[in-house]
């Protein structure tokens, strides 16, 4: 194999050091300037979601929430109130009589987090405490399904609330049932891997980020626990904006997805890099930024480590729905411009 | 100040005087004029320091109020019937969390069949939720009860529902004394929360409570209603002192001192019953009325005391627990149980879906209770013929069609109007 | 207690008429209760509104089943509903029309009432003339004041002003005044006869 260095021109012989670690893969960030370090790297972080909660080993949601809320706390100088929908996050963070929240926190119902947050924000306005900001948070079930009406109402009124959806693609807390965020072909307790079309049916489901963009609200973003800096940056940016904002974070659930608990970040990265989970930002109805895919992975690389897709790989021939999933990936890549065309070498 | 004003508008003015900080508005007949009135007062600058939020459903309305109240703001909303059912989860959530939200319930029948007219089925559907439920007899009392409601709710840290008969009170224009701001301010201090979301002192509200503690939490809610039994009359007394008129309290007695027959009822029908009682008294019949204002907490002791000497008690109510009978009659029965010589209890259900309750029918009912008492629940002014026909039709064929439409067709034919096919 | 029942069709201001009457009574220091018959509202559908007036608190909440006065804003209703149901033997009848009772086929009902208790008034014409819209409610209140003398015309005018401020109020007052004069003339003629 030819030596890559030997084939370079003299001025390029010394390979430039690329700090990939700056981006996603190393969280400790000792290699970067302090200003670029993550909030979590700081000892003064608020630890708003502190240790002692009862999340599963490898829980993507716990990871995402910790990063998101601490970033929001820093951005608001700790003037933050959180409203939580019923779900995993609420349950594992408040096992009575303990709580792992170190900020004011309210849990009301499953489907009303957005509306309750609207009420909290209204109270802060009327009390002339505009510096106190409000976050509503919930899982995909509580956001895309049962909480959808309240979410859309909050968007439409442009209430000053940041809604964070931790998307693990199913109703995990109640035993892994299908939600409208569950990807096609995925096995859940209510879309079992049996019959003519095992798993979740193609042609169903909805993209709440797209709907949020259609609402024309000031800020919409998708994010992932595979890029925690990016997640923190997006939350920080959102807290600098007034009005309705939405961030949806892809958070793998090892239990629900049938994945290994140490694979959480790897799977989140693969979801982005195969194109199934586009990472983008939008403002007032227009996409403004996308996160490019550096190395496009085939969708099978993402699917295979998850038992919820195992039925696609049982037969001798690959299930044709794998190709359909790949087609979804390709369509996302095309729609969002996630892959730069690679210039052909002469 | 005395005004000739529509009930809903007077209520809106009274609520505005209570300085609500967050008002959630979603329209449903017959309360819509109340939230519209408040919206206008906010928009024209009469009601300041108030966030008026147009929400997308009743579920959202009460949810927004929950968030606002938990964050320390005085919160208010209004609904009726179907809207109340749509927010049912939030109703239990508000009382379970102990948030002092005040809500007007424009009493309206619950469908199916859809019906926009007055009865008490909506209030009955949430009687176990822990909310306090106060029933206004007149529009004046509706105004006064809202003012008392905020005070009671915030003292107790429990939500309060003010029930006003839809259309009969909400849409009637009458002479009402709307209080002035100074008197209301003297009576109702600013909201001082028992629990509040505040970054300066973070707490978690709404944790899951398991078998080890749930019973105790529920017991304390039950105990709060007992406390309310003392608080309600106390605040009514204070109201009378400051505003110069009686309103609220647990219950009121009218000509019961020597009564053999005592009627028990709630809401606007009590006015008609009083006129009927006066006419019967003129005929020498010793009859009186107990108006229940506080349905929850139910004033067992006060009621027992007021009914102890009666021979017959006739409960007239605008609701029915289908298959069981009147809920008010059931509760009154509980109050009478331990009396050494309990009066005979007669249960009548009237005014369902807005059917007018007339003096003529009441005269007949009250006399019948004594002379020809009935068993179980009596439906006042029931059209026996229509009901009989429908029962017969159902026996004759399986595909007998929807009951409500069949009855409407019968009535249309009977009145000579062309019946839809 | 004096009970007035107003019959009309949706869009003719029946409910506002009842409310204005109650406001007029209020200005005279009396208690008054005005309410509609709570049906589904639809322009053109029969509508009934009620107004009770008394010198003490009004407790009664039933619809007015035995009115002391009927105001009929739309004469086509006689063929559709039993307008006269419950009208007291010594009651009043005020009909918005330019036809006679005989032409409306209600001569018998009108004649059962005491002399000078039943009048017709072309209220819609007065409304069109002064206000430019065929809403006869204000004019009918002026006629009511003349017919029953139960409220003063001054109170009626104040009530109209309260309900319709500015130029529209003035126009409606003019219609009411003309209707008042019209009925008064009829009454004087009937007395003389």
Q: Pick from B174, B175, B356: which is nearest to C62 by CB?
A: B356
Nearest chain A Cα distance for residue B208, angstroms = 6
The predicted-structure confidence for A62-97, as pLDDT tens digits, reads as follows 999 999 999 999 999 999 999 999 999 999 999 988
Residue B311 DSSP SS3 = coil
Nearest CA distance, B62 vs chain C (angstrom): 27
Rounded Cα gap, residues B28 and B78, in angstroms: 9
Evaluate whether residue A7 is within a structural domain.
no
In the predicted structure, residue C7 carries a pLDDT above the cut 80: yes
| Minimal-distance CA residue of chain B relative to C35 | B172
Chains C and A touch (3+ CB pairs under 8 A): no
ipTM over 0.90: yes
> Partners for B (CB, 8 Å, 3+ pairs)?
A, C
Number of compact structural domains in chain C: 1
CA-CA distance, A164 to A49, in Å (whole number)? 15
pLDDT given at position B153: 98
Domain that holds residue C7: 2-192
The single-letter DSSP state of residue B194 is S
The DSSP-derived string for B119-174 is: -SHHHHHTTTSS-EEEE-SSHHHHHHHHHHHHHHHHHHTS-EEEEEETTTTTT-EE
Put simply, the answer to whether C35 touches B357 (Cβ < 8 Å) is no
- A143 pLDDT more than 50: yes
Least confident of A40-49, A217-226, A259-268, A318-327: A40-49
> Which pLDDT value is given to residue B419?
47
Query: Is the pLDDT assigned to residue A27 strictly greater than 70?
Result: no
CATH number of the domain to which C86 belongs: 3.40.920.10
- Which of B5, B164, B174, B418 to mutate to test binding with chain C, by most C CBs within 10 Å of its CB? B174
**Measured over all CA atoms, what is the biggest interatomic distance in chain A, rounded to whole angstroms?**
71
A150 vs B: CB within 8 A: yes
pLDDT at A28 over 90: no
Domain coverage including residue A257: 19-336
A335 vs A218, A301, A330, B32, CA distance in Å? Answer: 21, 22, 9, 46
B173 → closest Cβ in C22, C60, C63: C22
Residues of chain B with Cβ-Cβ distance to C62 below 8 Å are: 272, 356-359
pLDDT-derived band at A344 (thresholds 50, 70, 90) equals very low
Chain C residues inside the 8 Å CB shell of B2: 26
| Nearest by CB: C62 against B175, B274, B359 | B359
Total domain count for chain A?
1
H-helix or E-strand spanning residue A161:
none
Mean pLDDT for A264-287 is 98
- Does residue A323 or residue B421 have the better pLDDT? A323
The verdict on residue A8 lying in a domain is: no
A94: in domain: yes
Please tell me the distance from the alpha carbon of residue B247 to that of residue B226, in angstroms, as a whole number. 20
* Residue A174 structure tokens: 């109640």
- pLDDT at B418 (0 to 100): 56
> Distance (Å) from the C-alpha of residue B118 to the closest C-alpha of chain A?
29
Residue A228: which pLDDT band, with cuts at 50, 70 and 90? Answer: very high
Residues belonging to chain B with any Cβ–Cβ distance to chain A shorter than 8 Å? 21-22, 24, 49-51, 53-57, 59-60, 63-73, 75, 89-90, 93, 97, 197-199, 201-210, 212-213
CA geometry: angle at A298 spanning A293 and A301, to 5°? 110
Burial class (CB in 10 A: 0-12, 13-18, 19+), B258: exposed
Residue A343 pLDDT class (50, 70, 90 cuts): very low
Instruction: Identify which of A97, A120, A125 has the shortest CB distance to residue B70.
Output: A120
Residues of B in contact with C31 (CB under 8 A): 174-175
Does B50 contact A126 at a Cβ distance shorter than 8 Å? yes
Whether A126 has its CB under 8 Å from any CB of chain B: the answer is yes
- State the pLDDT at residue A17: 59
> Residue C84 corresponds to which tokens in the numbers above?
């006269």
Q: Do chains A and B touch (3 or more CB pairs under 8 A)?
A: yes
Question: Cα separation of A118 and A134, whole Å?
Answer: 8
**CATH number, domain with residue A284:** 3.40.50.970
Q: Are B294 and B141 in contact (CB under 8 A)?
A: no
**pLDDT at residue B86, rounded to an integer:** 97
CB contact (8 A) between residue A126 and residue B205: no
Query: Pick from C193, C24, C21, C174: which is nearest to C115 by CA?
Result: C193
Model confidence at A18, pLDDT cuts 50, 70, 90, reads low
- CB pair distance less than 8 Å for B272 and C59: yes
Ordered DSSP codes for B332-396: HHHHHTT-SSPPEEEEEE--GGG----HHHHHHHHHHHHHS--SSEEETT--HHHHHHHHHHHHH
A80 falls within a domain: yes
Q: Which of C32, C36, C63 minimises the CB distance to B174?
A: C32
Percent of chain C with pLDDT over 90: 89
Cβ contacts of residue B197 below 8 Å, gap of 6+? Answer: A81, A104, A105, A106, A120, B70, B71, B72, B203, B205
Give the number of beta-carbon pairs within 8 Å between B and C.
Answer: 62
> Reduced to 3 states, what is the DSSP secondary structure of residue B32?
helix
Sheet holding A286-290, edge to edge: A286-290, A280-283, A219-224, A245-250, A162-167, A133-139, A80-84, A105-107, B204-205
pLDDT of residue A24: 46
Under 8 Å CB-to-CB from A1, ≥6 apart: which residues?
none
The pLDDT value given to residue C89: 96
With an 8 Å Cβ cutoff, are C22 and B174 in contact? yes
CA distance B125 to B255: 31
Per-residue model confidence (pLDDT) at position B415: 76
A158 at interface of B, judged by CB pairs closer than 8 A: no
In a domain, A251, yes or no: yes
pLDDT of residue C43: 78
Domains and CATH numbers, chain B: 2-243 (3.40.50.970), 251-379 (3.40.50.920)
Mean pLDDT of A110-124: 98
- Residue A341: band (very low, low, confident or very high) from pLDDT cuts 50, 70, 90: confident
Q: Give residue A96's pLDDT.
A: 86
On chain A, the residues whose CB falls within 8 A of the CB of B54 are 157
Q: Are strands B132-135 and B160-165 parallel, antiparallel or unpaired?
A: parallel
- CA B298 to CA B316: how far, in whole Å? 16
Distance CA B331, CA B120 (A): 15
- Taking the CA of residue B165 and the nearest CA in chain A, the distance in Å comes to 28
For the cut 90, the answer to whether the pLDDT of residue A204 exceeds it is: yes
Smallest Cβ–Cβ distance between B72 and the set A95, A112, A123 belongs to A123
Pairing state between β A105-107 and B287-292: unpaired
In this structure, is residue A57 part of a structural domain? yes
- Show the 3-state SS of chain C: CEEEEEEEECCCCHHHHHHHHHHHHHHCCCEEEEEECCCCCCCCCEEEEEEEEECCCCCCCCCCCCCCEEEECCHHHHHCCCCCCCCCCCCEEEEECCCCCCCCCCHHHHHHCCCCCEEEECHHHHHHHHCCCCCCHHHHHHHHHHHHCCCCHHHHHHHHHHHCCHHHHHHHHHHHHHHHHHHHHHHHHHHHC
Using DSSP, state whether B295 is helix, strand or coil: strand
All residue ranges of chain B with pLDDT < 70 are 417-421
Interface touch B174/C65, C-beta < 8 Å: no
Length of chain C: 193
pLDDT in tens, C76-135: 999 989 999 999 999 999 999 999 999 999 999 999 999 999 999 999 999 999 999 999
Confidence of residue A315 (pLDDT cuts 50, 70, 90): confident
For residues B312 and B344, the answer to whether their CB atoms sit within 8 Å is: yes
> Could you tell me which of A70, A129, A61 has the C-alpha nearest to residue A91?
A61
The token duo for B349 is 């259900």
Confidence band for A41, pLDDT divided at 50, 70 and 90? confident
**What residues of C are in contact with residue B359 (Cβ under 8 Å)?**
60, 62
Q: What is the pLDDT of residues B49-100, one digit of tens each?
A: 999 999 999 999 999 999 999 999 999 999 999 999 999 999 999 999 999 9
């Amino acid at each position: 194999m030819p030596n890559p260095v030997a084939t370079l021109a003299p001025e390029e012989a010394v390979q430039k050091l690329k700090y990939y670690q700056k981006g996603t893969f190393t969280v400790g960030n000792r290699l970067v300037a302090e200003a670029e370090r993550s909030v979590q790297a700081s000892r003064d972080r608020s630890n708003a979601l502190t240790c002692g909660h009862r999340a599963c080993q490898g829980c993507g949601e716990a990871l995402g929430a910790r990063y998101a809320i601490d970033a929001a706390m820093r951005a608001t100088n700790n003037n933050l109130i959180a409203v939580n929908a019923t779900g995993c996050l609420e349950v594992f963070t408040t096992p009575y009589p303990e709580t792992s929240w170190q900020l004011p926190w309210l849990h009301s119902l499953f489907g009303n987090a957005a509306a309750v947050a609207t009420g909290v924000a209204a109270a802060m306005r009327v009390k002339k405490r505009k510096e106190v900001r409000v976050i509503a948070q919930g899982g995909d079930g509580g956001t895309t399904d049962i909480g959808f009406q309240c979410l859309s109402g909050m968007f439409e009124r442009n209430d000053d609330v940041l809604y964070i959806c931790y998307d693990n693609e199913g109703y995990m807390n109640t035993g892994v049932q299908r939600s409208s965020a569950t990807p096609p072909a995925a096995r859940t307790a209510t879309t079992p891997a049996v019959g003519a079309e095992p798993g979740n049916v193609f042609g169903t489901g909805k993209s709440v980020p797209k709907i949020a963009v259609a609402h024309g609200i000031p800020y919409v973003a998708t994010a992932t626990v595979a890029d925690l800096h990016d997640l923190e940056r997006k939350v920080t940016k959102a807290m600098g904006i007034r009005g309705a904002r939405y961030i949806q974070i892809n958070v793998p659930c090892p239990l629900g997805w049938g994945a290994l608990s140490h694979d959480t970040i790897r799977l989140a990265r693969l979801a982005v890099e195969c194109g199934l989970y586009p990472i983008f930002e939008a403002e007032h109805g227009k996409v403004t930024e996308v996160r490019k895919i550096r190395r496009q992975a085939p969708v099978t690389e993402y699917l295979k480590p998850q038992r919820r897709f195992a039925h696609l790989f049982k037969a001798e021939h690959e299930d044709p729905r794998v190709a359909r999933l790949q087609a979804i990936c390709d369509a996302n890549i095309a729609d969002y411009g996630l892959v730069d065309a690679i210039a052909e070498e002469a | 100040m005395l005004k000739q004003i529509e009930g809903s508008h007077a209520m809106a003015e009274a609520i505005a005087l209570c300085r609500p900080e967050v008002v959630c508005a979603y329209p449903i007949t017959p309360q819509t004029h109340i939230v519209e009135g408040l919206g206008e007062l906010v928009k024209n600058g009469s009601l300041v320091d108030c966030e008026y939020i147009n929400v997308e459903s009743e579920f959202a309305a009460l949810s927004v109020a929950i968030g606002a109240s938990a964050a320390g703001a005085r919160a208010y909303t209004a609904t009726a019937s179907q809207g109340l059912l749509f927010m049912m989860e939030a109703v239990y959530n508000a009382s379970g969390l102990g948030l002092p939200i005040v809500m007007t319930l424009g009493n309206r029948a619950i469908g199916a069949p859809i019906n926009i007219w007055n009865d008490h089925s909506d209030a009955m559907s949430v009687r176990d939720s822990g909310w306090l439920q106060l029933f206004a007899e007149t529009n004046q009392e509706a105004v006064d009860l809202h003012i008392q409601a905020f005070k009671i709710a915030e003292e107790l840290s429990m939500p309060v529902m003010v029930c006003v008969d839809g259309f009969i009170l909400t849409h009637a224009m009458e002479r009402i004394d709307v209080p002035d701001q100074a008197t209301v301010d003297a009576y109702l201090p600013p909201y001082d929360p028992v629990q509040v979301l505040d970054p300066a002192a973070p707490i978690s509200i709404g944790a899951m409570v398991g078998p080890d503690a749930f019973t105790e939490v529920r017991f304390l809610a039950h105990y709060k209603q007992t406390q309310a039994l003392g608080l309600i009359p106390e605040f009514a007394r204070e109201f009378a002192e400051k505003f110069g008129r009686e309103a609220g309290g647990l219950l009121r007695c009218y000509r019961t001192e020597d009564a053999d027959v005592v009627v028990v009822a709630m809401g606007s029908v009590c006015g008609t019953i009083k006129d009927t009682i006066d006419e019967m008294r003129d005929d020498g019949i010793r009859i009186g009325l107990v108006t229940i204002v506080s349905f929850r907490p139910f004033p067992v002791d006060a009621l027992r005391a007021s009914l102890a000497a009666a021979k017959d008690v006739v409960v007239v109510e605008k609701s029915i627990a289908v298959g069981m009978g009147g809920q008010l009659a059931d509760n009154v029965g509980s109050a009478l149980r331990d009396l050494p010589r309990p009066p005979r209890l007669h249960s009548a259900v009237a005014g369902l879906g807005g059917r007018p309750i007339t003096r003529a029918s009441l005269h007949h009912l009250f006399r019948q209770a004594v002379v020809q008492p009935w068993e179980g629940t009596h439906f006042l002014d029931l059209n026996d013929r229509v009901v009989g026909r429908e029962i017969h039709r159902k026996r004759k064929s399986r595909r007998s069609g929807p009951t409500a439409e069949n009855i409407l067709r019968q009535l249309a034919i009977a009145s000579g109007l062309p019946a839809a096919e | 207690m004096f009970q007035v029942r107003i019959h009309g069709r949706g869009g003719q201001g029946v409910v506002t008429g009842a409310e204005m009457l109650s406001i007029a009574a209020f200005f005279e220091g009396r208690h008054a209760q005005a309410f509609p018959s709570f049906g589904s509202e639809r322009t053109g559908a029969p509508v009934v509104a009620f107004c009770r007036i008394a010198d003490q608190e009004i407790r009664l909440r039933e619809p007015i089943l035995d009115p002391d006065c009927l105001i009929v804003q739309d004469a086509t209703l006689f063929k559709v509903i039993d307008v006269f149901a419950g009208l007291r033997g010594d009651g009043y009848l005020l009909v918005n029309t330019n036809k006679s009772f005989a032409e409306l086929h209600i001569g018998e009902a009108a004649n059962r009432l005491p002399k000078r208790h039943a009048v017709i008034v072309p209220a819609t014409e007065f409304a069109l003339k002064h206000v430019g819209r065929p809403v006869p409610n204000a004019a009918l209140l002026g006629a009511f004041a003349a017919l029953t003398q139960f409220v003063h015309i001054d109170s009626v005018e104040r009530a109209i002003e309260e309900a319709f401020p500015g130029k529209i109020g003035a126009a409606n007052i003019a219609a009411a005044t003309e209707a008042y004069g019209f009925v008064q003339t009829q009454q004087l003629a009937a007395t003389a006869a």
